[in-house]
Amino acid sequence: MKQYVIRRILTSLVVLLGVSFLIYAMLRMMPGDFVEQMTSGNPTVTAEQKEKLRELYGLNKGIVEGYVQWLSDALRGDFGVSFTYQRPVTEVIGSKMWISFSLAASAFVIELLIAIPLGIAAARRQYSKRDYLIMFLALAGISLPSFFFAAVLQRIFAVGLGWLPLSGMVSAREDYTGFRLVLDIAYHFILPVTVFVITGIGGWLRYVRTNMLEVLNADYVRTARAKGLPESKVVGKHAFRNTLIPIITFIGGSIPGLFAGAIITEGIFAIDGLGKTALDAVNNKDFPFLMTYLMFMAVLTLLGTLISDILYGLADPRVRFR
């Protein structure tokens, strides 16, 4: 196990090196830059002044030369200063990502708690009324555009009934601290979390149901039933454990999404998370932020894959690491 993890980490470092260069090259080849964005609409700025600004922001170098400089700084822990916020990029990401994480992680846990039991229930009674009802709800959730569903929830529960806040993270006229602050944030997160869960649970339901159907039709499951084992034991011990392996793969791939933020949902509910900040960075051509943000997502993707591989061994003793 130890040698396997070390080998995977070394391989991931090589992959990250290649990914970082591709990301840097694509960002530098984007039309326009921060200087053009900043000086647009100001005809008094001369070409020489723009060039000096590009030199000040480090945008006057070629792709290879600029990448080598960025990599050298990054290896020392310096990821640059955000053009928009005029603060180190790591501080900006650190202050925003936990907002997105708390929102996405809450919805993620609820999705799993609902989707796994319902997916198993649908698979156990294939083509029954229960199966059709569960899959109808799954397809309905997948088909709902998040911006439309969010607007409907706001109209009903915030504007119409006045039960929940329309947007934001905290009550504007209150100064809560401690546990009261946590409750206030949770109160404001009810609608966005509902949007996440309803629009995201359909994929999990279909995934769990499909894999459970494959396992329930396997020979060893039929053998377990032939031995007279209770159905709860057949499903819980024999079938579900083997269903965990593809589910673990799906969970590992979902890790980056917990930190990436949801651009549409965060924007509609005025939540100042990482997704909304990344969209602003694209509009403002904030190169240092985008470079660090995308590399952060790449690291999380590789980390999620590694965690999935390690969890395989816990879910299935037959898996061996070499």
Residue count of the chain, please give it. 322
Q: What is the pLDDT of residues 173-203, one digit of tens each?
A: 777 777 888 888 888 889 988 988 888 888 8
Please report the pLDDT score of residue 26 as a whole number.
86
User: Residue 224 and residue 228: Cα distance in Å, rounded?
Assistant: 7
Query: Are the CB atoms for 88 and 82 separated by under 8 Å?
Result: yes
- How far is residue 269 CA from its own chain's centroid? 17
Please name the amino acid found at residue 144.
Answer: L
- How far is residue 136 CA from its own chain's centroid? 25
The closest alpha carbon to 137, from 198, 63, 222, 54, belongs to 198
User: Residue 45 and residue 48: Cα distance in Å, rounded?
Assistant: 8
Q: What is the pTM of this model?
A: 0.75
Query: Which residue in the block uniquely carries the two structure tokens 């509910």?
Result: 269
Q: How confident is the model at residue 315 (pLDDT cuts 50, 70, 90)?
A: low
The enclosing H or E element of 245 equals: helix 240-260
> Which residues have C-beta within 8 Å of that of residue 32, sequence separation ≥ 6?
285
Which of 189 and 322 is assigned the larger pLDDT? 189
User: Residue 239 and residue 123: Cα distance in Å, rounded?
Assistant: 11
Please report the pLDDT score of residue 57 as a whole number.
65
- How far is residue 287 CA from its own chain's centroid? 21
Domain layout of the chain by residue ranges: 93-298
Burial of residue 18 (number of CB atoms within 10 Å: 0-12, 13-18, 19+): exposed
Was domain 93-298 assigned CATH 3.30.390.50? no
Which of 248 and 114 is assigned the larger pLDDT? 114
Q: What does pLDDT average to over the chain?
A: 80
The helix/strand/coil state of 84 is: coil
The closest alpha carbon to 166, from 273, 275, 263, 271, belongs to 271
> Which residues have C-beta within 8 Å of that of residue 111, sequence separation ≥ 6?
196, 197, 200, 201, 204
Residue 44: both structure tokens together? 């008094």
Residue 35 in this model has a pLDDT that exceeds 80: no
Q: What is the pLDDT of residues 81-136, one digit of tens each?
A: 888 888 888 888 888 888 888 888 888 889 889 888 888 888 888 888 888 898 88
Region 280-303 average pLDDT: 85
Which of 101 and 43 is assigned the larger pLDDT? 101
The enclosing H or E element of 150 equals: helix 146-153
